[in-house]
Amino acid sequence: MVERSKAEIPGKYDLNEKWDACLDLGVRRFVYSSFAGAFAGLLLFRSPVTRWASVAFGAGVGIGSAYSECSHKFNGSPPKLTPNIFGTPPSKAGDE
């Protein structure tokens, strides 16, 4: 008989799994977008300052997209905001 010392935790509630996925996603997107920024900087710009700026911009885009994805993983997707308009019938195509 083999006893399991660790209780089974569903993936929805497992924080270790979420942190691992977010760390992996953050590092990957940071590296890949930095390389894309470096490549674009080499193709488009002559000055070293603007090349480094394109690398920094790419890194920022990567970190921002990873942060957005991780916030969805931890908090769930944000609610959809719909306007509360009462008393107006739904519009039909050709009713003008």
Q: pTM of this prediction?
A: 0.65
29 backbone φψ class: left, alpha, beta (φ>0; ψ -120 to 50): alpha
Q: What would the mean pLDDT of 66-92 be, rounded to a whole number? A: 73
Model pLDDT for residues 47-62, shown as the tens digit of each residue: 999 999 999 999 999 9
Q: What is the dihedral of CA 79, 81, 87, 92, to 10 degrees?
A: -100
| Helix %, strand %, coil % of the chain (to 5) | 60, 0, 40
- Considering only residues 81 and 40, tell me which one the structure prediction assigns the higher pLDDT: 40
Model pLDDT for residues 12-49, shown as the tens digit of each residue: 667 788 888 899 999 999 999 999 999 999 999 999 99
Domain ranges of the chain: 15-75
Of all helices (H) and strands (E), which one includes residue 15? helix 15-44
Nearest to 63 by CA among 10, 17, 27: 27
| pLDDT over 60 (residue 5) | no
pLDDT band at 73 (very low <50, low <70, confident <90, very high): confident
